[in-house]
A = this chain, B = another copy of it.
Amino acid sequence: MHSYSQTVRVGVAGATGYAGQELVGLLARHPEVDLRAAMSSTAESAVRPMPRLARVFEGSLEPLNIDRLKKDVDIAFLAVPEQAAADLGTALVDAGVRVIDLSGAFRIKDDAQRSKWYPATKSMPAGAAYGLVEHFREDVKDAQLVACPGCYPTAALLALLPLVKAGLLDVSAGVIVDAKSGISGAGRTPSDRTHFSENHGSVSAYGIFNHRHVAEMQQELGAEVTFVPHLVPLDRGILETIYVKLTPGTTADAVSSTFEAAYGKEPFVRLTGDALPEIKHVAWTNFCDIGWRLEPGTRRLVLVACLDNLIKGAAGQALQNFNVACGFDERTGLR
């Protein structure tokens, strides 16, 4: 495991997107971090103001500069689009800089699948880990590059992996994930899709059957996933309603004790049991809340999982990975 004798020198590439800003805000308050560089991937966005971070982040934005990252930081966070992340991630790891990547560039392990969904990624760097901390904590500790999970897979996998591992899920029946996401998940770039008036008072499905996050869910679950994401008129938060079948004979108690064993000591997963979780209770936090109900007289289980897509689904989870990778208390800077 890495250990740092003093504050860790850190840089952020992609500081002005929604996840990037959140990350800069968290890092600026992290007691073990020396935030050396907040870079914006395009000249245009380099000058976009971040009024929310005034007095929080006292540094200045600068254009993306890979040489400076190689020279001045121990760990680089990438909050840039996949194409840029694929290039930067490889180059930085080669130069000995550890990388926490928030993009999808390095999430898919199978070469064929990755080529299909993330063609910009030429190859996986040695020492890459999939940063779902609750399930891959040991991998993260020594990783050179951490591929942070997508916002949708984070909720789905936290809800489903304990059941899969315990063999309680009838995998052959398939998994249905109906996700409701706030608009910040669609990014900061203005478009018809992110226009206020197109979303206020509305709900819409999008990306049906061709969303890249399906590949990531299927990789970890080993099950077919039907995934339908929806935009709902709120800014931040994802709630997923997940429909599965249990293996014959699985009881409600078995489900509860499996979850308790998996997450009873996890700092950022809260089990709500019968009292289903709501986005309001996790917004602006790094918690993922998980509840469930077994449909009476059937093997049908409905799980509900929710999180803040910009924190536990992006910047917060990245920081949690950072803490693990540096040997800090996992909660540092995240409370």
Contact = CB atoms under 8 A, between A and B. Distances in A.
B188 A190 contact: no
Interface stretch (A84-92, A109-117, A294-302, A320-328): A294-302
A216 B182 CA distance: 32
A259 interface: no
Contact of A233 (B54, B196, B204, B296): B196
B55 A176 contact: no
Contact of A228 (B200, B237, B241): B241
Contacts of A55: 267, 270, 287
A180, A237, A296: which has the most chain B beta carbons within 10 Å?
Answer: A180
Contacts of A241: 178, 205, 228, 230
Contacts of A276: 204-206, 208
Contact of A196 (B49, B52, B200): B200
Interface stretch (A73-81, A161-169, A278-286): A278-286
Given A178-B241, A293-B209, A195 B201 contact: no
A97 B243 CA distance: 46
Question: How many copies of this chain are found per oligomer?
Answer: 4
Contact of A232 (B203, B228, B335): B203
Contacts of A335: 29, 56
A247 to B, nearest CB: 17
Size category of the A interface is: 35 or more
A298 B196 CA distance: 36
A264 to B, nearest CB: 11
B209 A239 contact: no
Contacts of A51: 272, 275, 277-278, 281, 289
A5 interface: no
A280 B233 CA distance: 11
Contact of A199 (B196, B203, B205, B281): B196
Given A194-B195, A206-B276, A230-B239, 7 more contacts: A183-B196, A196-B200, A201-B201, A204-B276, A204-B278, A204-B280, A230-B241
Interface of A: 18, 29, 49, 51-52, 54-56, 174, 176, 178, 180, 182-184, 188, 190-192, 194-206, 208-209, 224, 226, 228, 230, 232-237, 239, 241, 243, 267, 270, 272, 275-284, 287, 289, 293, 295-296, 298, 300, 302, 304, 306, 335
Closest 8 CB pairs of A and B: A202-B280, A190-B190, A183-B196, A204-B278, A52-B281, A178-B178, A200-B235, A203-B239
